[in-house]
Structure 1
Amino acid sequence: MKAVVFAYHNVGVRCLKALLGGGVEVALVVTHRDNPKENIWFASVEQVARDHGIPVITPDDPNTPEVLARVQAARPDFLFSFYYRHMLKAPLLECAARGAFNMHGSLLPRYRGRVPINWAIIHGETETGATLHVMNVKPDNGPIVDQMAVPILPDDNADEVFAKVTVAAEMVLARSLPALLAGQTEFRQQDLSLGGYFGGRKPEDGRIDPLAGAAQLHNFVRALSHPFPGAFADTESGRLVIWKTLRAGSHGQALQGARLRADDGALWLEAVDGGCLKVLSATLDGAPLEQLAEPLALN
């Protein structure tokens, strides 16, 4: 069987390797050029393709006549998308004689759309996962081939959850591939009423809400921690970025907004609902923050 693969990021690397390990001939890989303005903390799909002697292209827009001609010339049985960042339009999807499939980083139909892992942590979910599904012109709503759940522990950050989802994606593809190749897959329609669509996030979306409760603040911080841009607040002393917190009970005070204070050699983030977080890592105007002379209000 022959496939064309659109892929990027760690999920793209592992799923491409799973296809090759499963005996699929990958005729063409379409990926992205790395953006020099982006923190590239993940592995390279392009490098894996070149290591295996697979033709690879990096178009800015995959839905051009030139890219379509390359994909058609490959005469693929399957088309796969693994964390590729652009939507593929109908002409591309129709190139694959046996179907087009996408790997999504959530338990569909929940968290359709962009950055599903970050959104799941922000909302305090206790599990997420990876879902292989049929691709169509609408994002993340095709019939499900298979999915696997992974836990989100109370202090897991997005990087840790992403690592779990990457393994789940590889396992889902590897165990689904034999039935797909044999034409014996049993598809399950999604009930879209059981989930919602979420958009992408920009660094500015990391601004901390000073009126949020302690649980919300903790989830927000861990969802945006390294390698993501971080949860931040502007204070009278400069920009505060909080990278890691632990839940630490109650501070027992009525506050009009969240504040940061120092006590017993540690930093504490006190929320308006009475909850308190121990701050394990933070920076103020880019420098590590370990002590404060006075409490610092978050604006």
Structure 2
Amino acid sequence: MKRAVVFAYHNVGVRCLKVLAARGIDVALVVTHHDNPAETIWFESVAALCDEMGIPWIAPDDPSTPELHAQVAAAQPDFIFSFYYRHMLPTAVLALAPRGAYNLHGSLLPRYRGRVPVNWAVLHGETETGATLHEMTAKPDAGAIIGQTMVPILPDDTAFEVFGKLTVASEQTLWLALPGLIAGTAPRLPNDLSQGSYFGGRKPEDGRIDWTRPAREIYNLHRAVAPPYPGAWTVVGGRTLVLGRARMAAGRFDGQPGLALRDGQLLGIGGDGQALRIIELLENGRPLGPEQVRGLPGLAGRDA
């Protein structure tokens, strides 16, 4: 039986740990994160799964300490896996696994290397993405590709919905790759970084809407950061409002870019005269009712 140390977090971490168990991998140690109290935790807990399965786990703040290196070495892993763990692993730790160290990344590498690849793909209006299992190196998401699974991004999919697809794609990719990894016959496909792209992390303030942009671009922003992510937001009368649910509206609309009422419907008009039909508008996480929407400053006079 092959042994692994696994760095894991989020739904992908949970599902892939279950895949390792199903394929007969002995998980000697899991390294995960403590949940951030400032973050909306909508995903499953790796730590809770480890408790349920009797797997030892730790959650150090820094994976580059001598103490962690010693703990991984003591586990004597054949493999190291990283499933949505949020830190880069030192090369000295990667070297502790004689059968290799592998990461599952939420894009079709070499495209969308780096942080939050699902959100970036939706933001840029991509029609497909996927999960990639690759060798870990000193550079992020740069090692040889072991396997990939593509998923579609439908026109109205939010990043949350796409992430659900990627969780399944990650499970499939790992399940199919493990027999070859165990046997030492897994392919190593080129990961040509010159053909790809790299993106950093996103912050809640990056979700502020610029209504002068084309409506489709604004819609993609909404889809990329819609709840349970922090959301695309705007300020009306000093109040911060978040788009909870929205769709593209048919036709073109007169008026200044921004929020407007048209025949009782709340629209977000872009700089190109196209608009979003805003189905749900949130303030402090709670939906505004119709009367509250009509009471927003500057909207009533725009109703046609």
Q: TM-score range by the shorter chain?
A: over 0.9
Alignment-derived partner of residue 268 in structure 1: 267
Are positions 1:295 and 2:299 aligned together? yes
SS of the residue 2:150 aligns to: strand
- When residues 228 and 78 of structure 1 are mapped into structure 2, their CA distance, relative to the original with a 3 A threshold, is same
Following superposition of structure 1 onto structure 2, how do residues 36-55 of structure 1 map, counting pairs within 5 Å?
Answer: 36-55=37-56
Deviation at 1:236, TM superposition (A): 2.2
SS in 1 for 2:278: strand
Residues 292 and 18 (structure 1 numbering): CA distance in 2 closer, same or farther, change over 3 Å? same
* Residue of structure 1 equivalent to 2:161: 160
Whether the 8 Å contact between 2:211 and 2:269 is mirrored in structure 1 is no
| Residue type of the alignment partner of 1:103 | L
In the TM superposition, what is the alpha-carbon distance from 1:288 to its structure 2 partner?
2.5
* Aligned-residue offset at 1:284: 4.2
2:299 partner letter = P
How much has 1:263 moved relative to structure 2?
Answer: 2.5
Which residue is 2:146 aligned to?
A: 145
Structure-to-structure mapping, 1:124-139, within 5 angstroms: 124-139=125-140
In the TM superposition, what are the counterparts of 1:244-283 in structure 2 within 5 Å? Answer: 244-253=245-254, 255=256, 258-283=257-282
Segments of 5+ residues of structure 2 without an aligned counterpart are none
Distance 1:286 1:180 in 2: 45
The answer to whether residue 243 in structure 2 is matched with residue 239 in structure 1 is no
SS at match of 2:235: strand
Give 2:95's aligned residue. 94
Give the C-alpha shift of residue 265 in structure 1: 2.9
Counterparts of 1:208-247 in structure 2 under 5 Å?
A: 208-247=209-248
SS in 2 for 1:250: coil
Moved more, 230-239 or 68-77: 230-239
The alpha carbon displacement at 1:252 in A equals 3.7
Q: After superposition, give the CA deviation of every residue in 1:82-134 in whole Å (9 maximum; x if it has no partner).
A: 00001001110000010000000001001000000000000000111100000
Counterpart amino acid of residue 144 in structure 1:
I
Structure 1: which 5+ runs fail to align?
none
Distance 1:286 1:70 in 2: 42
Q: If the length of structure 1 is used for normalisation, what is the TM-score?
A: 0.95
- Give 1:251 deviation, angstroms: 2.6
Shift of 1:287: 4.8
Percent identical pairs in the alignment equals: 54
Decide whether the 8 Å contact of 2:253 with 2:269 is kept in 1: no
Q: Deviations over 1:55-97 (max 9, x none)?
A: 1111001111111001001111000000000100111000001
> Residue 18 of structure 1: SS of its match in structure 2?
helix
Per the normalisation by structure 2, the TM-score is 0.93
Letter in 2 for 1:259: G
Q: 1:176 is matched by which residue type in structure 2?
A: A
Conservation of the 8 A alpha-carbon contact between 1:254 and 1:272: no
Structure 1 CA distance for aligned equivalents of residues 38 and 244 of structure 2: 21
What amino acid sits opposite 1:31 in the alignment? T
1:250, distance to aligned residue in structure 2 (A): 2.6
Q: Report Cα offsets for 1:181-203 as digits up to 9, x if no partner.
A: 00001111111122111001111
| In structure 1, distance between residues paired with 2:25 and 2:10 | 20
